[in-house]
Structure 1
Amino acid sequence: MRLRTVLVTATATLAAAACLSAAGPAAAGPAVAGPAIGTPGNSPSSNACSSSVSIDGYSDALDKTTYNGTFVGNFSALAVDRDGAIAALSDRSQLFTLDPVTYQPRSVQALASETGAELDSEGLVVDRDGSRLVSSETEPSVRRYGQDGTLLDRLPVPEALQVAPAGRATRNATFEGLTLLPGGHRLLAAMEGSLSGDTAGIVRLQTWQRHGADDFRLSAQYGYRTDTGLGVSEATATPDGRLLVLERGFTAGVGNTVRLYLADIRHATDTTGIEALTGQDDAVRLARKTLLADLVDCPSLGATARQPQPNPLLDNIEGLAVTGRTHGGALRLLLVSDDNQNPAQITRFYRMTVRLPHGG
């Protein structure tokens, strides 16, 4: 999502991800690497953001660069391609293929709507056949593209999730996250903001069920409560069917708030037919969430910021992909910030390790 000021108070393709080394992509450019956090009961390493999450390095190598005449930045989503390369989606309709070690671009292709218009593209999935599922928050929409960028299909979207006046959603607050759940049979899109009529902070998670190779039909919907003043910037499936959810906000003169949560929809209520989600109805179970880390608590690793930040490591983080596992079973993550093509912001990649608590 392009930058908005928000007042704050305080993969789906894991098989493809396994193509990467257990260490994950090495940092390129001005980056700092560090050890993963210790096992439970041990003192956390100096790179610990919390007892569950460590920051292993960062890279500003692509900041304010171009590739074949195309600006490299505005990144809103990441995915691991079938050959282990990193697919990086710009919200200006550009899909880059990046080297998994250096992050340097290998190729770029433009995506477009049925009429040839640019997308406000925010979510990305590389499907098992290599096609790309891309969400745009303009309508919102989810479209399927071939590996060459050819538009193949468009998935149905519930009327209520469409931008007003067609539906109850707010412009620039719709499908921000997109992920395939384990097995590849269910697709999930996360709304960034609340629908009109729903209590502020409660957002909808819409799913589609796959029928056959590429027929996705509307399925269950769930409610998820964000922290006050924050919106969902990404949702990525874990191997056991839970979700890594990034919540993010921005306050002018203060900077970004970015928190990483683990969410579980397995026992949540299907909210498809529920007009208003208030959070007060005991019969409606929202997705359960557990805080993994507030990224303000990560060591800065010597990073610098171009505008006020509570931690100079932080920026407008929007993209998240699972890139592999450690030998101990923890997940390797790659995150990226959206610089909005703004001189005061940075395109920054973050390598992190997260050890998930056992699911209930």
Structure 2
Amino acid sequence: MRMRTVLATTTAGLAAATCLSAAGPANADANSPADHACSPSVSIDSFSDALDKTTYGGTFVGNLSALALDGDGSLAALSDRSALFTLDPQTLAPTSVVPLADESGAALDSEGLVVDRDGTRLVTSETEPSIRRYSPDGKVLDRLPVPSSLLVAPAGRAVSNQTFEGLTLLPGGHTLLASMEYAISGDSTGIVRFQTWNRTKDGHWRLGAQYAYRTDAAILGVPEVQALPDGRLLVLERGFTSGVGNTVRLYLADPRHATDTSGVENLTGQDDVHLIKKTLLADLVNCPALGATAKQPQPNPLLDNIEGMVVTGHGKGGWKVLLVSDDNQNAVQTTRFYRLTVKPGIVAEG
């Protein structure tokens, strides 16, 4: 999502990329003696600004909104300006770029990304919103159905630029989940809907259950969600306060006992609706800065407009997670990659 100012305070791919490293300028050394803990559950291994304000093949490498692993172990990085990059998993250097467009050739506000088991790309756009299937060379293959209530007004109840941001494939590959960024009209502020689709026998997708998730504050939205192999989710919450900077928090969430809200017209926090349970893993403001610098006010110079996330594998101490910030092609923002270790064994509680 292009930065919104708020006033107020899969498993083959995982095995192929367990050793992602971020080489390049402004890259923090993972072997630094400094304490890398952000919380008891999360530590930051390193960061890299190697791709900040660079180009590849005439395409600006930035505006990155989503990350995914390809079957060959490479890293896919989605720009919200209709470009899909392939990055070297070791150096982060771009190796190819594919332009994306809708069926009429118009640009997308592309935000969420999944590389499916057959190599096709599932890509969300905030414009309608929509989810399209693309071939590896960028050809539109299919378009998934979207509940009418989640469409942008006046067709539905969603607000423009606040729709499908996160996208992930649940364990087994039979269920796709997309997260809305903010609440739709009629729902309480801070309650966002997570929509699922189930894979059909012929390889298409039909609408599935829908769940409700509450963010910690009205200014926070959900820019990304990623599934763990046990069915739980890593969820990013993010906000921006002018003159203060970004808030970015990482949660462990469990949708497995949540109410299916697809038939609930208005979500107002009623007792008979069980929200997705979540546990705070880390507020990234508490991570060590590792020498990072910020081009605008930030509560921690390490922070920026973090928007993309992918689980890259399992290593010593926990799950390896890669984040990326969307610089909005803005001189005072940075395209920055972050490598985290998230410890397993946390049980999500309300």
TM-score (ref. length: structure 2): 0.97
| TM superposition shift of 1:98 | 0.3
Question: Which residue number in structure 1 is paired with residue 213 of structure 2?
Answer: 224
Amino acid at match of 1:355: K
Question: Which residue number in structure 1 is paired with residue 46 of structure 2?
Answer: 57
* 2:29 paired with 1:33: yes
Question: Which residue number in structure 1 is paired with residue 137 of structure 2?
Answer: 148
Alignment of 1:67-106 (within 5 A): 67-106=56-95
Query: Which string of whole-angstrom CA distances, capped at 9 and with x for unpartnered residues, describes residues 91-111 of structure 1?
Result: 000000000011010000100
Query: Which string of whole-angstrom CA distances, capped at 9 and with x for unpartnered residues, describes residues 73-94 of structure 1?
Result: 0000000111111100000000
* 2:176 paired with 1:187: yes
Q: Cα RMSD (Å) of the superposition?
A: 1.4
Question: Which residue number in structure 1 is paired with residue 342 of structure 2?
Answer: 354
Contact persistence 2:30–2:45 (CA under 8 A)? yes
Question: Which residue number in structure 2 is paired with residue 16 of structure 1?
Answer: 13
- Using the alignment, how far apart are the partners of 1:28 and 1:207 within structure 2? 38
Query: Which string of whole-angstrom CA distances, capped at 9 and with x for unpartnered residues, describes residues 192-226 of structure 1?
Result: 01010000000000000011252110000000001
| TM superposition shift of 1:8 | 4.4
- Using the alignment, how far apart are the partners of 1:300 and 1:170 within structure 2? 35
Q: 1:335 aligns with which of 314, 319, 323?
A: 323
| TM superposition shift of 1:15 | 1.9
Question: Which residue number in structure 2 is paired with residue 134 of structure 1?
Answer: 123
SS at match of 2:16: coil
Question: Which residue number in structure 1 is paired with residue 231 of structure 2?
Answer: 241
- Using the alignment, how far apart are the partners of 2:305 and 2:8 within structure 1? 14
SS at match of 2:149: helix
- Using the alignment, how far apart are the partners of 1:7 and 1:33 within structure 2? 35
Change (3 A) 1:242 1:8: farther
| TM superposition shift of 1:227 | 1.4
- Using the alignment, how far apart are the partners of 1:160 and 1:134 within structure 2? 20
Contact persistence 2:150–2:158 (CA under 8 A)? yes
Contact persistence 1:14–1:322 (CA under 8 A)? no
Q: Aligned pair count?
A: 347
Question: Which residue number in structure 2 is paired with residue 322 of structure 1?
Answer: 311
> Equivalent pairs: percent with the same residue?
68
* 2:275 paired with 1:289: no
Amino acid at match of 2:23: A
SS at match of 1:7: coil
| TM superposition shift of 1:143 | 0.3
| TM superposition shift of 1:358 | 3.9
SS at match of 1:15: helix
Change (3 A) 1:212 1:51: same
| TM superposition shift of 1:245 | 0.5
Question: Which residue number in structure 2 is paired with residue 261 of structure 1?
Answer: 251
- Using the alignment, how far apart are the partners of 1:33 and 1:278 within structure 2? 46
Amino acid at match of 2:343: R
Amino acid at match of 1:226: T
Q: Which moved more, 1:210-219 or 1:181-190?
A: 210-219
Query: Which string of whole-angstrom CA distances, capped at 9 and with x for unpartnered residues, describes residues 20-75 of structure 1?
Result: 24x432433221133699xxxxxxx7100000000000000100000111100000
Question: Which residue number in structure 1 is paired with residue 2 of structure 2?
Answer: 2
- Using the alignment, how far apart are the partners of 1:7 and 1:284 within structure 2? 30
- Using the alignment, how far apart are the partners of 1:27 and 1:155 within structure 2? 37
Amino acid at match of 2:79: S
Question: Which residue number in structure 2 is paired with residue 42 of structure 1?
Answer: none
- Using the alignment, how far apart are the partners of 1:97 and 1:186 within structure 2? 25
- Using the alignment, how far apart are the partners of 2:234 and 2:259 within structure 1? 19
Query: Which string of whole-angstrom CA distances, capped at 9 and with x for unpartnered residues, describes residues 132-152 of structure 1?
Result: 000001000000001111110
Amino acid at match of 1:353: T
TM-score (ref. length: structure 1): 0.94
- Using the alignment, how far apart are the partners of 1:310 and 1:241 within structure 2? 33
- Using the alignment, how far apart are the partners of 1:67 and 1:84 within structure 2? 20
Amino acid at match of 1:147: P
SS at match of 1:18: helix
- Using the alignment, how far apart are the partners of 2:32 and 2:289 within structure 1? 15
